[in-house]
Amino acid sequence: MMRLTIHPATSWIIYGFQQMLERMLLARPEVSDGLTKLINLDLCPSVQQVTKKQLPRGTGITANAAIVGGGIAMLGQPLGVGQGNNPTCQGARGLSLWGLHDPGYLLQLLTSAARDDTVEFLFEGLPIFSKDIGGGVAEGRFDLKLDPVSRILVPHLDRIYDEMMRRAALRGEDPHKWVNPALYGRWVPNSLTSINFVNQTVSGYEDFLRLFYATHHPLYDGGHDLVYPNPVGLLITNVHGVFLGYHAVSIQRVAEDDEGKIRVYFFNPNNEGRQNWGKGVEPSVVGHLEIPGESSLPFEHFAAHIYAFHHNQMEVGDLKAVPSEIITEGITHAKESWGQAFTWL
């Protein structure tokens, strides 16, 4: 694999290779066999074309070698996946989660997309094949300056996600309640709580914020610490605290930093984890015990910017134990930043 994939033009794969070995992934048959299968895989014409188009000229690197190298790099750096200049944070979030917790499944998806030009997902018992549907959040228009795996898989995942959202629409609740567990897999709890947005108004925010503390903060969650990444929705603001839009990230863990403060460590697929969200909220990527690829914020800052999160209904701490002053501070911050774009009830 090293002889096939590593060239001067692809030297970035070396670090991914080293990290993959650190994770001992090649000892897992589904990974070693999955990567080996890609070496001589009969690629579909569209994948051949898009992969070769991004390769440096005159290197002699084959499309198969580029895909194998991309798989190695992603398995070595699952927190390094980026969406590029595409509205596909949902797909990038999935690639990262599978790279961490089900690398064999990720390689299976990659094989299907590269060979058959389709991937299959089940939604409420019914199969969805990406080749049979159009649309997508990106509407088929992609900036392909992505890693080799994302370049192949993200267009399929984008269509699958959009189709699931269409099927789950008009149910009176956030469609992600059904879509996220179906798209990402068994790691995502079936319960989803989201802010009640109706006609640009916000209601029930105090209860929403209190529940987030009681399910995620180690002082109030009853010892039910996070085990797997939790896909959550963020309300993104600019440097002045003005609401910009919605964004998908994953909470990786909640822990004390080097100063003893509770922080949320999260995966942000937008390639820039240090954005200034205004009002004193600035995610960091280093200096607070972050694992490479993580962003982090003090818990209270992160909590004041989420609008949806999954949780296990059987693992909720004491809601009354969450101090009222913490909730009040969170409400105040929300109203003074993204909340200015909404009416509060």
Number of domains in the chain: 2
pLDDT score at 144: 85
The answer to the question of residue 184 being in a domain is no
Tokens of 235: 């309300």
pTM: 0.95
Same domain, 120 and 249: no
Same domain, 109 and 43: yes
**Bridge partner residues of 311 (DSSP):** 191
From 88, 23, 87, 37, select the one nearest 67 (Cα to Cα): 37
Same domain, 40 and 158: yes
The answer to the question of residue 175 being in a domain is no
The answer to the question of residue 323 being in a domain is yes
Same domain, 29 and 159: yes
Same domain, 20 and 141: yes
The answer to the question of residue 180 being in a domain is no
Same domain, 164 and 204: no
The answer to the question of residue 159 being in a domain is yes
Mean pLDDT of the chain: 95
Low-confidence spans in the chain with pLDDT less than 50? none
- The number of residues making up the chain comes to 345
State the angle between helix axes of 89-101 and 103-116 in degrees (0 to 180), rounded to the nearest 10.
Answer: 130
Range of the domain at 140: 2-168
pLDDT score at 326: 97
pLDDT score at 60: 84
Same domain, 10 and 145: yes
128 Cβ contact partners less than 8 Å away, ≥ 6 residues apart: 120, 121, 122, 160, 163, 164
Same domain, 223 and 156: no
pLDDT score at 55: 86
Q: How far apart are CA 112 and CA 43, in angstroms?
A: 10
pLDDT score at 28: 97
Same domain, 121 and 215: no
- How many other C-beta atoms are found inside a 10 Å radius of the C-beta of residue 190? 12
pLDDT score at 21: 95
The answer to the question of residue 259 being in a domain is yes
Same domain, 231 and 113: no
* Per-residue buried b or exposed e for 277-293, using 16+ beta carbons within 10 Å of the residue's own CB: bbbebebbeeebebeeb
Same domain, 150 and 25: yes
3-state secondary structure the chain: CHHHHCCHHHCCHHHHHHHHHHCCHHHCHHHHHHHHHHHCCCCCHHHHHHHHHCCCCCCCCCHHHHHHHHHHHHHHCHHHCCCCCCCCHHHHHHHHHHHHHCHHHHHHHHHHHHHHCCCEEEECCEEEEHHHCCCCCCCCCCCCCCCHHHHHHHHHHHHHHHHHHHHHCCCCCCCHHHHHHHHHCCCCCCEEEECEEECCEEECHHHHHHHHHHHHCCCCCCCCCCCCCEEEEEEEECCCCCEEEEEEEEEEEEEECCCCCEEEEEECCCCCCCCCCCCCCCCECCCCCCCCCCEEEEHHHHHCCEEEEEECCCCCCCHHHCCHHHHHHHHHHHHHCHHHHCEEC
Each residue's pLDDT tens digit, 193-252: 999 887 889 999 999 999 999 999 999 999 998 999 999 999 999 999 999 999 999 999
pLDDT score at 289: 97
Same domain, 141 and 224: no
The answer to the question of residue 182 being in a domain is no
